[in-house]
Amino acid sequence: MLALLMLSAAINYIDRGCLPITAQVLSEELSISVEQIGWLFSAFFWSYVSFRVMAGWLANRYNALLLGVGYYFWSTVTLLTAFANTFATLLVLCVLLGIGESLAFPAYSKIIINTCAADRRGLPDAFMDSALKITPALGMLLGGLLLVKAGWQGLFFLLGLCGMAWLVSWSMLQNAFADLGGIVAPFVTGLMVFKNRIVLFDFLLGFCRCRNWCGFLSLSYATSYTTSSPAVLCR
């Protein structure tokens, strides 16, 4: 199960990294401006962030089923991106990709809690975090190689198919999760979370350090920066 979760997280990051990898090619072939590329990058993150709270609520209700549904949704969106031919279509697909991928990490947390005792969650969590650290680098490398070999349409199509293949393996484990009661935690509302000073401090610390923001900013724009002149990017 842990191996499948790690693979899922890896594909999650590779899928979201496809647009930065193909941005220069899309700009040339579909006549998309630099400003519109920026809109595409931000559209994913706005929908991703906006839907995360709802995703957490859904994870509490549907557990492992949510991951399968979310995975099918964002893999389908990735596959359909191969057929996009306008800026408006790409913008809608980026929004939908953000919604679909926002379901993943709340589902991961819920599955680990329900399958691991409290004193055994550190190792699975560490493996998941390690997968997330190495995947962006490997994703950029593999994505670039696929882009050269198959073109941008082929890249999105192949990654969409990979997601569907992962779902086959995951569906085989659904029966194992069907009757999984897990560890029953006390019901916690958003208001109760903000009343807890430790949790609130951790939330604010994670927000203010901006690690994810800086990482995703680099992930989104590094490829475009290295394939375009700084004068074009900053105009």
Residue 23 pLDDT: 86
Cβ pair 78, 133 in contact under 8 A: no
Residue 198: CB atoms within 10 Å: 7
Q: What is the CATH number of the domain that holds 104?
A: 1.20.1250.20
Calculate mean pLDDT across residues 227-235.
Answer: 48
Q: Which residues fall within 8 angstroms of residue 121, CB to CB, at 6 or more apart? A: 112, 113
Q: pTM for the complete prediction?
A: 0.78
Tell me how many domains the chain contains: 1
- Nearest in space to 22 (alpha carbons), one of 140, 183, 161: 140
Angle separating helix axes 34-50 and 211-227, nearest 10 degrees: 160
- Over residues 24-80, the pLDDT tens digits come to 888 888 888 888 988 998 898 889 888 888 888 888 887 777 888 888 999 999 999
Residue 82 pLDDT: 92
Q: Tell me which DSSP letter residue 235 carries.
A: -
- Over residues 154-187, the pLDDT tens digits come to 999 998 998 888 888 777 766 555 444 444 444 4
Q: Which residues fall within 8 angstroms of residue 156, CB to CB, at 6 or more apart? A: 18, 22, 78, 79, 81, 82
Cβ pair 139, 17 in contact under 8 A: yes
Domain span holding position 37: 2-233
